[in-house]
Each structure stands twice: as structure tokens, then as C-alpha cells.
Amino acid sequence: MQTVDLALNEAIQAQAGPALLATQPTVDRIPTFWITKEKIHDLLRYVKNEIDRPYKMLYDLTGIDERGRSHREGQPDSDFTAVYHLYSFGRNAYLRFKVPLPEKRPSVPTITDLWPAADWYERETWDLVGIRFDGHPHLVRLIMPRDWEGHPLRKDHPSHGTELGLNMPDQKMMEEQEQLQFDPEEWGMKRSSDGTDFLFLNLGPHHPGTHGVLRVVLQLDGEIIIDAVPDIGFHHRAQEKVAERQTWHTYLPYTDRVDYLSGVINNMAYLSSVEQLAGIEIPLRAQVIRVMMCELYRIANHFVWLGTFSQDVGQLSPVFYTFNDRERAFYIAEAITGARMHPNWFRMGGTAQDLPIGWEDLFRDFINYLPPRLDEYEREIVKNRIFKARTKGIGRTTVDEAIEWGMTGPNLRACGLGWDFRKAHPYSGYDQFEFDIPIGKNGDSYDRATVRIEEMRQSLRIIDQCVRNMPDGPYKAIHPLATPPPKPKTMHDIETLIAHFLTVSWGPVIPPGEALGAIEASKGNNGYYLISDGSTTPYRNRIRTPSFPHMQMLPLLCRGLTVSDLIAIFGSVDFVLADVDK
């Protein structure tokens, strides 16, 4: 939770004047200001450029359909609300602005001139919530197909697929294919210049190099990439809408599938927000177990990344080795959680079970086994001449650019900024562990590789500390909202039994409020911005994923390079399409 910053309040009050409609206290203590639509652009410019220790990163931008909400005490009237999250590295703090909008034709001015990264966020918000961004250069749907009717995250849009009865008859298939036809002029691209005709190459939506269902249209001059237009939304699983019909507890398995390579790290991100809302303190043992499992999954994630990356740049064997080592990590995960990829093992207030008897040995074997393997990988993959030739200087960014575009995680660290949310915003007791933050220098594909390999060593170091210092005590908090409630406590009297029954069957009721919980996931900063309306389900669940901004940066990284370099960039950035489209 953030500390209150009075000077900031004053500065914003002075700048906004009467345009400041209200300040809203939130559970996460992130300063939240309601600003009129006319003034929001000016204010964002102010906090980005003029304030001291400015908010340089547009962390997230989204919208809320407020029409069904009952707990809005102290907030201005609003049918739709545009929500801006900013982040300041100088202050190590978040900031939130909200703009109230009417039901009829809700619109706000675009901020793409302030942050180019706002482009996709605005298109996404238009697509899913139906808020217009006046002045946006090309406000078309980002996630849903172009001919989709309605805005899915509005409360009156159907949620279930069975309601819609979707199908793909031949006729429809042809129409949809037609829609996917790429029109360069639409994107402001020329078909030719200076006597050269550009080639437009359609990479994807199904291509082995894109690591999933992603489409990128490339504008090529010979083999040189002039520009690229990523087309996403093929992997949209409506994770945000699903939350609105699941209980707080039964949404947990869905989080696993947001970044499907990182398992419990997703649970952690979601819970870091829910537990703030519920006000649950996590017992020490549960915290350490969580840290240990998160680091195990971080290593498992990096193994997939390493194997597929090296395969992308032409090394065929490493993937067999790294996947084998991933199996070793999964062997432990399975012994502890019972599952491999989607463990769904954390719970509100702790974990699903205590650690099984004999868990230390599994980890000790792993800790002894892995370091020489990592050395070997470094020697054979990263120090390989061909690998270097394919990745050094490819896909470079600077720290400023990275922040401007919302890059986080290992990719940001590869540019030379040692920023890790485990240290900057410690959660689950990460401040109690010793580990280093590996950084790179050039922000190219090669540095992204070295940073991640070193990160695996650091994760192993954290796991080692967990194994050696695992505290005793309960693995789940004794708290009325800890779900499912600890069983021994339920058999005292009829009251506790009823409470148990309700919590298990209907789910816990979380007090009204809003909280953003953000953590350092394996790919960068993953945050859940949850709104509770005092019921058994979230009113709104906004997932800020790291891969989304990374994907948006792609054209920036690949301009002027060749198609084969693009594949090396894809591999190095480490994204998962489920994490991009949600």
C-alpha cells in the first residue's frame, strides 16, 4: 500500500482547480482524482511533464460501466468512467485519474499525443467498453472482430457463449476472411515510394514464429521491415468479463490461464488485490510458501522462453534440454500442488494445503542440480557465435523509450534500469530475501537473454533461502474472509457452520472498495484492478498484463531490420498471447 502524499494532492488541486470533482479514498491508497473530461488531457500532461519526479509511465487505461453499481459514495455521477493509471519511477508510486462520462455517447479526448502507448489502450477501451477517444488517429476495434455488435464489457452485453450460439459456417468463414484483408492505406501506409514497390507480408495468425495466434502485417522493402502492424485479439478469452460472474474465490483458476506459463504467479497477482480489499493478513509461512512457488514457476516459465527462443534463432537441440529441466520443476510443482501448468493453488488468505511431507528434498535436489545446467545453457546457447550474431544489437530500446511505452520486467531491466517490483513494491515478504537484480546495457535481444538467465539463478537463490528458513505456523489466515475457511474452525457451533456453508457455497462477500494489486510476474508487471460492490462477485476486474504493452512496442523494435530479426525479437521479448489478449 502506498503512503499518502500531501504535496501531490496540493499540486493537483492547484492545477485542476474546479475541474477536480472529487478525490476518492481507495483501499490501496493510490491517490485517486476525479477530473472533468475537458481538463483530463491537461492534467495528464502536467503530471507527465511538469511535476517534479514525474509520472512517466502510462501504466494502464481502461473503462468501467458504472450503471449497475450501488456503492459509489462520494463519487461524482457517472455512467461510464475512464480510468487512467500512471506510474512514477522517481516516486515509486502509482496515480489514478477518473473521468465521469454520460451514458449517451461517452467520449474523452485522446492522449495518444502524450503517450504513444495510449493507442492500443484506447482502442481496447473503445472496443470493450464503448468509450470513444476523440482525436484518436485510428479508433477501430482491437480485440473483437470488426463486425462485432456491442461492447462486451458493458453490463448489457451477453457474457456466455452458449447464449450467443457461435458457429463458423462456410459462408461466415469467407466473410470473416474478407474482413481480415489488410488495407495499407487504412493504416496510413504507402504502397510504394521512390520507385520501389513495398511488399506486404502477412505473418500469422497461424505461424510457428509468432508463438501463438498473432498476426503481424509487415511492410517490406526487399527484406527490410519498413513498418509493422500487429493484429491481436485472436486469443481473447474474456477473462475480465468472466470475473463478473464468478465468485471471488472461483475466479482463481481463471487467473492461471492469463499467463499460462507462469502458474501460481497469476494467483499471486490476483490475490494481492483481493486480499487488500478483504483486509487479510497473510501468515508468515504462507507468505514464504508463496514466494517459493512463484520463483519455481518463474524458472519454469524461463525454461520455455529459453528453449523456444533458441529454437527461433536456429538452435534445434536446446529446447529438448530446457523442456526436460522444466519437467523437473513440474515434478516438484506436481508433488506440491497436484498440477503442472495450471495449479490454482493459492487461496484467499494463504494456500490450498500445507506443504507435503518430504518437500524439502525435492527442492534441495533441484537447487543442487540446476546451477551447472544454467552454466551450460549460458555457454552453449547464449555464448554461441551464431546466437550472438542473430541477437546482438537486434531490437534495441533505451530506458526512456521503454518507460514511455510501458515496458516492465526483464525487458526493461535489459535496457539498464534495475527496476524490480519485488524490491520496489515488496509484497509477500520479498523484502526479507537477498537477491540481486540483473541488468543489461543495450536493451537488445541479447541482453534480454542474459538478464533472464541470471534471473533464474537469483530465483534459485530465493528458493534456497525459503527452503532453509521455512517458518512454522498456519498456511492460511484465520480471517472470516479466508476462503475456503479452515475446517477445524467450522465445527464449533451452528454459527461457524453456517458461515462456512455460505462462504463455500455462495462465496465470500468482499466489502465495497477498489484496489490495484500489482506484482512482478515472470514477464513484467502484472496488476489486477478490482472493484467490489459489496457482493460475492467482483463488479469489475481489470487485468493489466505485461505482454500487452510489449506487443504494442513491436513495430518500434523491428523497424529497419529484416524478417529474420523480427523472429529473434519475438523470441527474446517473451510474451504469451493469452497475456496480450486476456
Partner 1 sequence: MAWWSRKPDSREKELSHNHTSINDSVRGNFALARLEDLVAWGRKNSIWPFNFGLSCCYVEMATSLTSKYDIARFGAEVIRGTPREADVIVISGTVFYKASPMIKLLYQQMMAPRWVIAMGSCACSDGMFDVYSVIQGVDKFLPVDVYVTGCPPRPDSLMEGLLLLQEKVGNERRPLSWVIGPQGVEQPVFPAQRELKGPKRRRIGRLTPPDYASHDLYREGHDANR
Binding residues (CB under 8 A) for partner 1: these are 143-145, 152, 157-164, 166-170, 172-173, 176-177, 180, 205-206, 208, 212-213, 233-238, 241-242, 253-254, 257, 260-261, 304, 319-320, 323-324, 326-327, 335-336, 338, 340-342, 353-359, 361-362, 577-578
Which amino acid, 190?
Answer: K
Cβ of 139: how many Cβ atoms within 10 Å?
18
Alpha helices in 113-229 (DSSP H): 118-128, 161-164, 170-179
b/e 498-510 (16+ beta carbons within 10 angstroms → b) = eebeebeeebbbb
Comparing CB distances to partner 1, the nearer of 141 and 457 is 141
Task: Tell me how far, at minimum, the Cβ of 357 lies from partner 1, in Å.
Answer: 5
CB atoms within 10 A of CB 244: 18
Asked if residues 556 and 302 have their Cβ atoms less than 8 Å apart, the reply is no
What 8-state DSSP symbol labels residue 212? E
336 versus 573: smaller Cβ distance to partner 1: 336
- Give min distance, CB of 571 to partner 1, in A: 14
Report, in Å, the least distance between residue 170 CB and partner 1: 8
* DSSP state at residue 418: -
Residue 17: DSSP 8-state: G
Q: How far is the CB of 160 from partner 1 (least distance, A)?
A: 5
Tell me whether residue 304 or residue 531 sits nearer to partner 1 (CB atom).
Answer: 304
Q: How far is the CB of 299 from partner 1 (least distance, A)?
A: 15
- Closest CB 283 distance from partner 1, rounded Å: 19
Tell me the closest approach of the beta carbon of residue 269 to partner 1, in angstroms: 17
- CB-nearer residue toward partner 1: 427 or 575: 575
Task: Supply the minimum distance, in Å, between the C-beta of residue 164 and partner 1.
Answer: 6
CA angle 564-568-570, nearest 5°? 110
Q: Which three cell numbers stand for residue 485?
A: 475457511
Q: Cβ neighbours of residue 197 under 8 Å, at least 6 residues apart?
A: 191
* Maximum distance among all Cα pairs of the chain, rounded to whole angstroms: 85
Shortest Å distance, C-beta 530 to partner 1 = 19
Prior bond of 371 cis (ω within 30°): no
- 476 closest CA partner among 293, 265, 283, 345: 283
Q: Can you tell me the distance from the alpha carbon of 306 to that of 318, in angstroms, rounded to the nearest whole number?
A: 8
CB of 267 to partner 1, least distance (A): 15
DSSP string, 415-440: TT----HHHHS--TTGGGS-------
* Smallest distance, partner 1 to C-beta of residue 534, A: 25
DSSP calls for 510-551: PPSEEEEEEEE-SSSEEEEEEEE-SSSSEEEEEEE-SHHHHH
Cβ closest to partner 1, residue 278 vs residue 296: 296
CB of 245 to partner 1, least distance (A): 9
Other C-beta atoms within 10 Å of 302: how many? Answer: 26
Q: Which is nearer to partner 1, 43 or 304 (CB)?
A: 304
**DSSP single-letter state for residue 400:** H
Measure the CA–CA gap between 233 and 213, rounded to whole angstroms: 9
Which of 268, 245, 282 has its CA nearest to residue 536?
Answer: 245
Residue 25 C-alpha cell reads as: 479514498
Q: Which of 544, 556, 555, 551 is nearest to 582 (CA)?
A: 544
C-alpha distances in Å from residue 461, one per residue of 452, 466, 470, 471, 523: 14, 9, 14, 17, 19
Question: Nearest approach, Cβ of 351 to partner 1 (angstroms)?
Answer: 12
For partner 1, the closer of residues 206 and 383 by Cβ is 206
Q: Which is nearer to partner 1, 289 or 304 (CB)?
A: 304
60, 121 contact by CB (below 8 A) = yes
H-state helical runs in 91-249: 118-128, 161-164, 170-179, 239-243
Nearer to partner 1, 246 or 535 (CB): 246
- Residue 27 parent element (H or E): none
**The C-alpha cell of 449 is what?**
537473454
What does the alpha-carbon distance between residue 547 and residue 409 come to, in Å, rounded to a whole number? 10
Q: Which is nearer to partner 1, 286 or 336 (CB)?
A: 336
C-beta closer to partner 1: residue 121 or 234: 234
Residue 3 or 171 having the CB closest to partner 1: 171
64 SS3 class: strand
If the CB atoms of residues 148 and 501 are measured against partner 1, the closer one turns out to be 148
**Smallest separation (angstroms) from partner 1 to the CB of 20:** 37
For partner 1, the closer CB: 80 or 251: 251
